[in-house]
Amino acid sequence: MLLVAMLLAAVITISLGTYMNLSITSLRLADRTFYSNAAMNLVEMGVEEAMWSFQEDDISGTGWNGWDTSSGTTAKRTFGTNTFGGNVTGVTKVYVNDHTGLSASPFILSRSIITLPQGASIEKWILITLNRRSKFNMALVSKGNITFSGTNASVDSWNSDPTGTGSPLVPYSAGVATDEGSIGSIDVSSTISVNNADIWGTAAVGGPATTAIAVGPNGVVGPYGTAAGTKDPGSISTDFTANLDPVAAPTGGTVIGAITGSTTLGAGIWRIPSISLGGGNTLTITGNVTIIITGAEGTSGISIGGTAQFDIAAGANVKIYSAANIDIGGSGVLNPNAQPSTLQIWGTSTNPIAQTIAIKGNGTLAGLVYAPNANVTVNGNGSVNGSIIAKNVTIAGNAAIHFDEALHGLDTGDPYGITKWTELTTAAQRAAYLSLMSF
């Protein structure tokens, strides 16, 4: 009996020991799971702090206060120590490779470390790539309608800066053309009348039905190879939305009289009542120039006709702000620069009666138009290399729109957005960045 009792006691002891072991292991696993979630909260907090600093720096210039920015363009900061109780602590380290935002795609590296009284520490790493949100992410965007007429109008794309370094710049040609020429209308009642145009890209409307995108017998919406008279199902969409915020002209500048004859404007901000050129007159732009048309809404702000022309010298760039109407015809704008960003037209009208912007002729206009309260018309057999944002857009004649994909990274004062989110989970992934986190 004694032997049986001893054996039974041994079995009970082993069972209890095993159960206690299992309970302790389960408790530890539960603890690690709990603190793993806490580590994720800490690492995401680090990302949010860095994102806030980027945006706040744009607003007040003080976003990086409290960060270590002594090593040039990088920024570093340690957040902690966080105490969870039970001798558990957590810390977050954040590294930003370019807090000045000068690079095309700055990144944020966030690392959280939770130290437990027993067992290995728990770490989470997140790598975030940023980019400026650009107003010019599509070839054509309108609040209302987009209408194509003529028989050979088209929309496609290319990249003027494929290396992202600004050199070498690539001009548009059929050899570098791609099918990323996207267009979109925002209002729920808006329509896109493609008719017989070729939209090599995508089309989206703000309403609930793709029937608002109308294609004629020779029209196309879709990638290269899409059959005439068809809309590729994967290239059309509904519920499209975008923020077309109004813009205001800069303050200050040199006030001069109306320009009616050949004139050269050098670097600076120029406040001008109107520009009206005819005959063989030329307005020549040299350097970094900002033109503010001070004429009233509803009046003629810029009018170029006959053989007159607007000549932007190589290496120069110009931003035009106008609430008054703009009519560019004649020999048009001569812009030898490959990047459309070197000519920017900003419509500042807020009048319920829409501003009008007309681009006419058979030449090529390399530039951007952002006029959320303007009716923009492109007329003729020429082309616009860039992007147009407006209240309504009409592409008449056989005009071609070539969207520059490099505009995705154009800094127009919009906040940063996340373009890539990666959790670094393996030792090999983390090793590539370990030296950056040694602070």
Mark whether 277 and 384 lie in a shared domain: yes
pLDDT band at 1 (very low <50, low <70, confident <90, very high): confident
Q: What is the pTM of this model?
A: 0.72
* pLDDT single digits (tens) 12-31: 666 666 656 655 555 565 66
Mark whether 57 and 194 lie in a shared domain: no
Please report whether residue 21 resides in a domain: no
Mark whether 119 and 145 lie in a shared domain: no
Please report whether residue 331 resides in a domain: yes
Please report whether residue 220 resides in a domain: yes
Percent of the chain scored above 70 by pLDDT?
Answer: 91
Please report whether residue 390 resides in a domain: yes
| Tokens, residue 65 | 């206060």
Specify the length of the chain in residues: 439
Please report whether residue 274 resides in a domain: yes
CA distance 187 to 178: 28
Predicted pLDDT of residue 254: 95
Mark whether 100 and 60 lie in a shared domain: yes
Mark whether 126 and 228 lie in a shared domain: no
Mark whether 156 and 227 lie in a shared domain: yes
Asked whether residue 326 carries a pLDDT value surpassing 90, the answer given is: yes
What is the domain range of residue 129?
Answer: 36-133+416-437
Please report whether residue 16 resides in a domain: no
CA distance 345 to 370: 6
Mark whether 421 and 376 lie in a shared domain: no
Mark whether 206 and 253 lie in a shared domain: yes
Please report whether residue 19 resides in a domain: no
Mark whether 100 and 213 lie in a shared domain: no
Mark whether 393 and 329 lie in a shared domain: yes
Mark whether 120 and 208 lie in a shared domain: no
What is the number of structural domains in the chain?
A: 2
Mark whether 40 and 155 lie in a shared domain: no
* pLDDT single digits (tens) 297-311: 999 999 998 888 888
